[in-house]
């Protein structure tokens, strides 16, 4: 039975090639699910999605977010999403391309978000991850940090933390680390 399907697929490809059509690439289950997730995205007006490799590569995209409130208000933050072939059984790999002073994002752009690790379930989707990122910017969590220095400052002196965030977003040094302007 499987050979019959493979034979029919080969015949269909040969027919398409003979009449000048490029062979149609069959979408994987991960691509189909991701296509559905992207079509159902509910982005805020300050969030955009782009496909740097073109619309044919759905598995790699970027989200640009500008928080409307909180410490990071008016900043622009870009996240890359790499969706694995095993999606939705495994979450997307998310990195922050914008260098940011944040307790839950380290200086290499790694993101500490529980749904990207141990709390991921196949019923979750890309929209859930994006809302998790929104939450990180409105309520940074000093209890589960990747940037321990920023977490300690947030915990001990929220006013100093706010000043550090503003300095970093304006393009300046926090300690010995330089942050490019993102406002």
How distant, in Å, are the alpha carbons of 8, 15, 27 from that of 1? Answer: 11, 21, 21
For the chain, where are the E strands, in sequence order?
A: 47-50, 60-65, 77-82, 93-96, 172-174, 177-179
Query: Tokens for 169?
Result: 């977003």
Task: Pick the catalytic residue from 96, 105, 111, 112.
Answer: 112
Query: Tokens for 91?
Result: 């979450």
98 and 111 in contact (C-beta within 8 Å)?
Answer: no
96 in active site: no
- Of the candidates 175, 178, 170, the residue with the CA atom closest to the CA atom of residue 73: 170
The partner residues of 172 in beta bridges, in order of sequence, read 179
79 and 96 in contact (C-beta within 8 Å)?
Answer: yes
The partner residues of 94 in beta bridges, in order of sequence, read 81
Report helix, strand or coil for 18. helix
Catalytic residue numbers read 112
């Amino acid at each position: 039975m499987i050979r019959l399907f493979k034979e029919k697929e080969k015949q269909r490809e040969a027919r398409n090639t003979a009449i000048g059509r490029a062979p149609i690439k069959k979408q994987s289950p991960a691509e189909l699910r991701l296509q559905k997730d992207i079509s159902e995205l509910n982005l805020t007006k300050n969030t955009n999605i782009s496909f740097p490799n073109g619309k044919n590569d759905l598995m790699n995209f970027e989200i640009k977010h500008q928080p409307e409130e909180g410490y990071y208000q008016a900043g622009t933050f870009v996240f890359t999403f790499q969706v694995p072939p095993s999606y939705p059984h495994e979450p997307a790999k998310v990195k922050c391309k914008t260098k940011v002073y944040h307790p839950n994002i380290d200086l290499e752009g790694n993101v500490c978000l529980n749904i990207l690790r141990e709390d991921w379930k196949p019923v979750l989707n890309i929209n859930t991850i994006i809302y998790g990122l929104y939450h990180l910017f409105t309520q940074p969590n000093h209890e589960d940090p990747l940037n321990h220095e920023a977490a300690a400052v947030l915990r001990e002196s929220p006013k100093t933390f706010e000043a550090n965030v503003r300095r970093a977003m304006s393009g300046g040094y926090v300690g010995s680390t330089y942050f490019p302007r993102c406002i």
